[in-house]
Amino acid sequence: MPNLLFKLNERLYLRDPQHTLLGQNIIRVSIDMIDRLGFEQFTFKKLAEEIDSTEASIYRYFENKHRLLLYLIAWYWNWMDYRIDLVTIGLTNPQEKLRASLKVIAEEKKIDPNFEFVNEEALYRIVVAELDKTFLTKWVDNDNKEGLFGGFKSLCRKLAGWVTEVNPDYPYANSLMSTILLTAKQQVFFAQHLPSLTSITKKETSQVELEYFLETILFKSIL
């Protein structure tokens, strides 16, 4: 069981949480707590209690809880990028690459044993519920300047590149792929909480429905 690490933007943290036990605990338990409580109700104080540490110690790893969320979501997009590489590495046709990527994007996540101390199922739910909060803040422009959205942006760029390979005349490749990536999460959220806003059901078939919906948007737009 290989234990992989992602090299994330160093500005996301003050001290790298992957390298110490306390840091790993912060990641592991914060994923669990944000999933359970929601990001607003989650605090460093509560986290400190659950891992038998102190607020002050956590603040030595992350400047604030917003940075911690940025870290977790950056990790998620890195992981997505990595899995898209895995399923497209053997493919040469950009259209096939996109189709394979969509499968990964629409997938409900299963635990990935390659990564200890990251519960990918809980992290997936966090992304669904909290993703937009990473950029809908007064810090967007600064966070962006520091490169904290790099993971999402490079993934979007990669997919948009394939779109342009498929159809060099399609002028909205970036918009289309950011829309697809965000819509994949939003529709899952709607299925759970505002079902009249979606055609995706809560049943086991929802993954396939989402995939077809995204496929239609993507390929009808560019072909």
Partner DNA sequence: TTAAATATAATAGTATTACTATCATAACTG
Partner DNA sequence: CAGTTATGATAGTAATACTATTATATTTAA
Residues that bind DNA (CB under 7 A): 15, 20-23, 40-41, 43-46, 52-57, 59-61, 64-66
- For residue 66, give the nearest of 15, 151, 138, 117 by alpha carbon: 138
Residue type, 188: V
Stretch that binds a second copy, among 79-87, 88-96, 115-123, 195-203 (CB under 8 A): 195-203
Distances in Å between the Cα of 63 and the Cα atoms of 58, 130, 133, 143, 223 are 9, 19, 17, 13, 46
For the bound state, the minimum distance from the C-beta of residue 208 to a second copy, rounded and expressed in Å, comes to 12
Q: Which of 20, 93, 175, 205 binds a second copy (CB under 8 A)?
A: 175
Residue type, 30: S
Longest dimension (CA), the chain: 57
Q: Does 149 bind a second copy (CB under 8 A)?
A: yes
Running DSSP on this structure, what letter comes out for residue 65? H
- For residue 12, give the nearest of 26, 32, 33 by alpha carbon: 26
For the bound state, the minimum distance from the C-beta of residue 179 to a second copy, rounded and expressed in Å, comes to 5
Decide: 98 and 218 in contact? Cβ < 8 Å: yes
For the bound state, the minimum distance from the C-beta of residue 54 to a second copy, rounded and expressed in Å, comes to 26
Which residues here bind a second copy, judged by CB under 8 A? 38, 40-41, 129-130, 132-133, 135-138, 140-141, 144, 149, 152-153, 156-157, 171-176, 178-179, 182-183, 186-187, 189-190, 193-194, 196-200, 209, 212-213, 216-217, 220-221
